[in-house]
């Protein structure tokens, strides 16, 4: 079974530029998450989708970050304009459904590494 | 203030030793998960505990959820170099509108020396 695919793997941009990350979840997974992991910290949820609807975006900095999952499958996360503190790994994850219980495993992609200079 | 405190932050031990990693909070969680993350990869789920006092074993790894569902521990018996990695605990709480949010600790970086 194919895992969660993310691209690009690495990106270096200057501050105030824009960047977009793409995620293809595991086939059949209705729930998709974007997490931000800053070096030395655990992942922090940015946004959670259930099919193509947003379930939780309470921690998404909406003045500069946006995300969409138009057809309920692939998703893109955009940052515009980027700041130095946005340097992090952006992890996409997916699961069959919402909730965190035995039997509903969340699978993470390898992440997209962003450096803002 | 970190919602989930993990200790120790770093741990370096010899192969064959035993170790325990702790995950503590003042909040109650509906479930708690442990992940292992290797450099350059995403976290991989090890276990989910749901019931207070629950103990789960995964080969040489033993996970325990506190009776009050606020804390958890991970014990590794006879550690091996392959156990090296970042161990993350994550607690799930209801965030409204039928949604649960998973909050991660900062992790414990384990190095097992051959």
Instruction: Compute the count of residue pairs across chains A and B with CB atoms less than 8 Å apart.
Output: 63
Instruction: Kindly identify which residue of chain A lies nearest to residue B104, measuring between CA atoms.
Output: A42
Per-residue model confidence (pLDDT) at position B1: 54
Q: Which two tokens stand for residue B19?
A: 């170790």
Q: Tell me: the pLDDT tens digits for B94-110?
A: 887 677 889 999 999 99
pLDDT at site A97: 87
CA angle B41, B42, B43 (to 5 degrees): 120
Q: Phi, psi (5° rounding) for residue A96?
A: -60, -40
pLDDT band at A98, cuts 50/70/90?
confident
Give pLDDT, residue B95. 80
Higher pLDDT, B95 or B53: B53
State how far residue B101 is from chain A, nearest Cα, in angstroms: 8
- CA atoms within 13 A of residue B85's CA, in its CB half-sphere: 20
Interface of A with B (CB under 8 A): 4, 40-45, 48, 55-56, 58, 91, 93, 98-102, 105-111
Q: Which chain B residues are Cβ-neighbours of A42 within 8 angstroms?
A: 4, 88, 90, 104-107
Asked if residue B28 lies in contact with residue B69, where contact means CB atoms within 8 angstroms, the answer is yes
pLDDT at B111 over 80: yes
Q: Is the pLDDT of residue B2 over 70?
A: no
State yes or no: pLDDT of B7 exceeds 60: yes
Amino acid A70: pLDDT: 83
The whole-angstrom separation of Cα A82 and Cα A62 is 12
Give the N- to C-terminal CA distance of chain A in Å, as an integer.
37
Report the residue from B42, B44, B95 with minimal CB separation from A111. B42
């Amino acid at each position: 079974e194919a895992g969660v695919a993310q691209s690009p793997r690495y990106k270096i941009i200057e501050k105030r530029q824009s960047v977009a990350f793409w995620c293809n979840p595991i086939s059949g997974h209705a729930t998709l998450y974007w997490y931000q992991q800053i070096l030395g910290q655990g992942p922090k949820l940015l946004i959670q989708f259930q099919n193509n609807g947003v379930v939780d975006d309470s921690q998404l900095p909406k003045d500069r970050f946006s995300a969409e999952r138009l057809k309920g499958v692939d998703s893109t996360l955009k940052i515009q304009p980027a700041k130095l503190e946005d340097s992090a790994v952006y992890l996409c994850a997916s699961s069959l459904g919402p909730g965190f219980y035995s039997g509903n495993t969340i699978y993470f992609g390898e992440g997209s590494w962003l450096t803002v200079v | 203030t970190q919602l989930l405190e993990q200790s120790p932050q770093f741990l370096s031990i010899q192969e064959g030793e035993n170790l325990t990693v702790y995950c503590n909070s003042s909040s109650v969680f509906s479930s708690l998960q442990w992940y292992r993350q290797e450099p350059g990869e995403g976290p991989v789920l090890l276990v989910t505990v749901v019931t207070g006092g629950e103990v789960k074993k995964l080969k040489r790894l033993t996970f325990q959820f506190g009776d009050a569902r606020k804390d958890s521990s991970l014990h590794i018996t006879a550690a091996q170099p392959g156990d090296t990695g970042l161990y993350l605990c994550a607690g799930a709480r209801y965030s409204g509108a039928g949604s649960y949010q998973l909050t991660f600790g900062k992790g414990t970086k384990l190095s097992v020396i051959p």
